[in-house]
Chain A
Amino acid sequence: MWKVTFKGLAGHKLRFLLTGLAVILGVSFISGTLVLTATIQKTFDDLFADINRGTDAAVRAHEVFSDFGGAQRPNIPASLLAIVRQTPTVEAEVGNIQAFAQVVDKHGKPIGGNGPPTFGLGWDPNPKLNPFHLVVGDPPRADDQIVLDKHTADTGNFHVGDEVTVLTSRAPRKYKLVGIARFGTVDSLAGASITLFTPREMQRVANVKNQFSQISVVAKPGVSQTQVASDIARTLAAHGKSQYEVITGKALTKETQNTVHKALGFITTALLVFAFVALIVGMFIIYNTFSIVVAQRMREMALLRAIGATQRQVLGSVIGESVVVGLLASAIGVAAGVGLSIGLKGLMNALGFGIPGNGVVLRPIAVIVGLLVGSIVTIVSATIPARQAARVPPIAAMRAVALERPINRVRRVGIGGAIVALGIALLLSGLFGGRGLLFVGVGALLALVGVFVLSPLFARALARVIGGPLTRFRGIVGSLSRENAARNPRRTATTGAAVMIAVSLVGFITIFAASANASIGSAIDQQLKTDYIVTVKGSGGNPGLSGISPELAKRIAALPEVQSSTPIRFGEVAVAGSHTFVLAADPKEIAQMYDFGAVTGSITDLTPNGIAVSTRKASSKHLKLGDLVPVKYVKTGVVPLRVQFIYKNNGLVGDYMISLANYERNFAQQLDFQIFAKLKPGVSAAQGRKAIEPVVARYPNAQLKDNAQYKADQKSQVNQVLILVYVLLFLAVIIAFIGIVNTMTLSIYERTREIGLLRAVGASRRQVRSMVRWEATIIALFGTVLGLLMALFFAWAVVRALHDQGFTKFSAAPIRLVIIVVVTALATLLWASLPARRAAKLDVLRAIDQD
């Protein structure tokens, strides 16, 4: 039987090439993701091991709470340094602190801020503890001197001796560049832009007095890390400072590495989800290919059965084919994945994420997962058609035509309907019952599968409807396309299903983004009464990590043209035990510039000891006006705040608000995320701009926007995410399109005689091409229509579920959906030229003579 298997493969190279391609693409995405993340992980593991090599122990505060970026801890007093020094096994110790600092290039543009962080550090005089090594120049000795990492210096084209403007929480300031340093073995830490100040200047930059985020320690020779750590802990305890944490250098390295692993794990999961979407689309293609192949070989199968092959042997021969295809394609996919990861690494480096080192890390897991997933997907997809093949009765060999099994309508409606119902139930319980993303995802997938099971029931009718206009515009060629698309409902349904899944995701994200934009737009129009808003340049509006010096807000407030203005700050807190963001503003000022809608109390009631809560959180946490709620800050610990205002959340201001005074008291770093401003009556917008603009210009990372610009800016941020998702979904779309060509190729092969006959009675090559292309287009549109209907439903449900979080508007984005339809149609017309040309080139005679 193996002979039959290989003959089967060799005889139909193209179809298996196309089937294989679906597997190859999916597997290469999976393996590529695994290889890339392993490479990045290895890079950072090595880097941190290298950087912390000299650190034997570290002293710091206990973790208050952890976010994606790692643990958050308060600073420690510099006085601990003297206590640590008293430990006999300590040879050297140094304290350091980190805070926002951003370099401005020679053209006045801030460097970085679009992803990798930008910050400042104190220059450690102890070379064992300092991860930086000077390439040229000297360490900073005076407070107006700095050292830059090489990557930043190169980006800004800075040389030793240059004057460099640095943005910090203070007003922009000029420093003298005295040295350029490498970080460990690399030019930069993953693209981060780091400015190195004197330790004293760093205290000012961080807006602290005699505080460190951590003290690093070198042990005396011959003393182990655990030894020195426990010695320090004892010394601290002896001084009544046992509330601080002491860990070994190794533990610190492990912890830093784990933080990176966690962040990478998040990215890996996200990428793998898209890879699996692509593979699921691929499964339909594989399933379809094997179904058609089996249908075409029914007679061969029956003949095999007639001459004595058992059901199991026939099953084995088809499964055998799928094993060969699966393994081969997966192997190619893994190899392609390695290539993909190399390309992606280069791309990331080009985008400024410095991933040093040559080559990539190929772990066995990337190979094993790739091979396993690819093979399993192929074999599973081939099993159903294989079982059908095995069940071919020997008598079928004698019949002229191997009849397709009729569709069992009752069973199909039952099974398909049940799957759809289950899927929708899961989806809704995930969305509205708070069961989470997994339920939503699995529910959506089930709903799609259910529709796929149902779709052969209406594939014929829908294909005829879609092809209707063709008959009018394309005459006989149009009706031939239409009837061809309708003649095999199962095939059209399966091919269409792959398109449906891809399009449903594309459509969903499109509608979702449009709804987000509409909601933001309406919130800005209705709630925001500002004239101007100052925002942080770049996408680096990373609350807490970067921002605008509060100096700017003060200067704007002092302008005679400005009636009211307030800085907007963001911070992380835990309200009644749950980790969340809080927004801070000046209550009296923001009251003039923001319409909070239906409320209890007034924002002007908000004191430095109070908190404002959204209606949603107020009801979920059972809070009412006057209640005390415990709020935990990193810097100051738990502070009870009184609920003084309850407002309607609309996505612009989040769930919790505090006053600026409260923020200043409880947060270490003071950076503005935005500045709201309203002009005095009688001051025109142009006059206002003329007054504010020069002030803002002195802060290169700030930019002035009126409401319309602000709205456009918010929308463009949504659209950026949209484009990213489009890119990630592109693979699934490609695979769906491969499916169309695959089906068409197989159908043409099957209809060789028919096409020959058409040619004999006078169909031109062009007409044959056009017929194939339009058939493909009808099938593609069949999937697109179903996909968009599903997308509308999914998006509607998700937007409904997020209503309380500011998704107040549902926008079906009709124009974009029409564009999706048109693009699908055009892309199919173009892409189907491949099988179309094949059909048109069929030798008329051979087509007729075939028996």
Chain B
Amino acid sequence: MTATIPPTKTIAARAVQASKIYGTGDTAVHALDAIDVEFPSAEYTAIMGPSGSGKSTLLHCVAGLDSLTSGHVYLGDIDLSTLSDKDLTRVRRDRVGFVFQTFNLIPTLTAIENITLPIALAGSKPDQAWLDRIVDTVRLRDRLSHRPSELSGGQQQRVAVARALVTRPEIIFADEPTGNLDSRASAEILGFMQRAVQEFGQTIVMVTHDPISASYANRVVFLADGRIVDELRDPSADAVLGKMRKLGGE
């Protein structure tokens, strides 16, 4: 099944017949099996599915961190499969933001240095007004000069979210960004991401296992065995849970 969206919206990223196969012959694993999916701008998409269904693989491929075995991924108009490592790096730096589950920050850099890292790597100066706004949004003003080891897990993830926002990327990818946090800290992070979508028109794609997390999104895409099997708009936690049960396993 193909996940579609209303035709009026612009598309931030999309995958076309995207396949990813690990290994060959008998041991070959179809992590992604000819997937077609679109992520519209200014939308918050959650990706769900059983463990091993290919969520991370999809995220990595669309984000330009990994390459497909066949098919195409587009970021805006750019076909990522045609880019060199150098160009892919630039795309990641300028047009994409990342939030990982753990180990999001460079331990030797302070919070503010971590936030502005992509800009520094590009050799440019941050837009101070925008930076202030992000820092205030994630409420880190009093922690800016701390190193990651001096921050709590929740604070570290907030720094990661701020870093993802700082370049005003076309799209932010988050792989289980709250997987290691308690419910209160999770709610905070998810709230920030939701605000980013609503207030700044940010596009976010987030992998999650948690129906409550998924309920923050505008849309949930369900994956199983490397294929998109279902989709839900404006989901509630209960509805997501129901779908997941149907997919089995959980």
Contact = CB atoms under 8 A, between A and B. Distances in A.
Q: Do A and B come from one complex?
A: yes
Which one of B85, B108, B163 has the highest number of Cβ atoms from chain A below 10 Å of its Cβ?
Answer: B108
A753 interface: yes
Contacts of A849: 56
A761 B92 contact: yes
B86 interface: yes
B86 A761 contact: no
Interface string B78-95: 000000011001101110
Contact of B60 (A475, A764, A845): A845
Interface string A480-524: 100110110000000000000000000000000000000000000
Nearest to B147: A483
A753 B103 CA distance: 8
A762 B122 contact: yes
A476 B121 contact: yes
B109 A762 contact: no
A760 B92 contact: yes
B123 A763 contact: no
Interface stretch (B112-120, B128-136, B209-217): B112-120
Given A487-B108, A761-B117, A848 B122 contact: no
A477 B109 CA distance: 11
B131 to A, nearest CB: 15
Interface in A744-765: 753-754, 757-765
Contact of B120 (A475, A487, A753, A764): A475
Nearest to A758: B106
B100 A762 contact: no
B239 interface: no
Contact of B86 (A479, A484, A758, A764): A764
A760 B92 CA distance: 7
Contact of A763 (B89, B107, B108): B89
A765 B60 CA distance: 18
Interface in A737-783: 753-754, 757-765, 767
A849 B176 CA distance: 13
A844 interface: yes
A757 B103 contact: yes
B118 A762 contact: yes
A767 B121 contact: yes
Given A475-B120, A765-B89, A760 B106 contact: no
A487 B109 CA distance: 11
A757 B65 contact: no
B222 interface: no
A761 B60 contact: no
A: interface residue count bin: 20 to 34
Contacts of B122: 762
Interface string A385-398: 00000000000000
A837 to B, nearest CB: 14
A411 to B, nearest CB: 25
A833 B123 CA distance: 23
Contacts of B98: 760-761
A771 to B, nearest CB: 10
Contacts of A486: 108
A844 B90 CA distance: 14
Contact of B89 (A483, A484, A759): A759
Contacts of B117: 476, 758, 761-762
A763 B123 CA distance: 11
A480 B106 contact: yes
Given A479-B113, A845-B60, A765 B85 contact: yes
Nearest to A762: B93
B121 A754 contact: no
Given A761-B92, A761-B121, A844 B113 contact: no
Interface in B116-153: 117-118, 120-123
B109 A754 contact: no
A761 B163 contact: yes
A767 B123 CA distance: 11
Interface in A714-754: 753-754
Nearest to B107: A754
B104 interface: yes
A757 B106 contact: yes
B: interface residue count bin: 20 to 34
Contacts of A759: 89, 92
A765 B121 CA distance: 11
Contacts of A477: 121
A762 B65 contact: no
B94 A762 contact: yes
A475 B123 contact: yes
A848 B65 contact: yes
A194 to B, nearest CB: 70
Given A761-B92, A761-B93, A762-B89, A845 B66 contact: yes
Contacts of A765: 85-86, 89
B118 A844 contact: no
Nearest to B123: A475
Nearest to B164: A761
Contact of A845 (B65, B93, B106): B65
B75 to A, nearest CB: 14
Interface string B37-66: 000000000000000000010001000011
B108 A483 contact: yes
A476 B108 CA distance: 11
A504 B85 CA distance: 43
A476 B122 CA distance: 9
A820 B196 CA distance: 54
Contacts of A762: 89-90, 92-94, 117-118, 121-122
Contacts of A844: 65
Contacts of B109: 479-480, 483
B163 A760 contact: no
B121 A763 contact: yes
Interface string A173-215: 0000000000000000000000000000000000000000000
A473 to B, nearest CB: 12
A724 to B, nearest CB: 44
A487 B92 CA distance: 27
Contact of B108 (A480, A760, A845): A480
A54 B119 CA distance: 89
Given A480-B109, A845-B65, A848-B65, A761 B118 contact: yes
Contacts of B85: 765
Nearest to A850: B103
A484 B109 CA distance: 10
Nearest to A482: B108
B52 to A, nearest CB: 13
Which one of A767, A845, A849 has the highest number of Cβ atoms from chain B below 10 Å of its Cβ?
Answer: A845
A848 B99 CA distance: 11
Nearest to B108: A483
Contacts of B56: 849
A400 to B, nearest CB: 10
Contacts of B93: 761-763
Interface in A434-481: 475-477, 479-480
A475 B107 CA distance: 17
Contacts of B92: 759-762
A833 B163 CA distance: 30
Nearest to A844: B65
A848 B92 CA distance: 15
Which one of B66, B86, B90, B121 has the highest number of Cβ atoms from chain A below 10 Å of its Cβ?
Answer: B121
B89 A764 contact: yes
A484 B108 CA distance: 7
A762 B86 CA distance: 10
11 contacts: A475-B123, A479-B113, A480-B109, A487-B108, A757-B106, A760-B65, A761-B92, A761-B118, A764-B86, A765-B85, A845-B60
Interface of B: 56, 60, 65-66, 85-86, 89-90, 92-94, 98, 100, 103-109, 113, 117-118, 120-123, 163
Given A483-B109, A761-B163, A762-B90, 14 more contacts: A475-B120, A484-B108, A757-B104, A757-B105, A758-B106, A758-B117, A760-B92, A760-B98, A761-B98, A762-B92, A762-B118, A848-B65, A848-B103, A849-B56
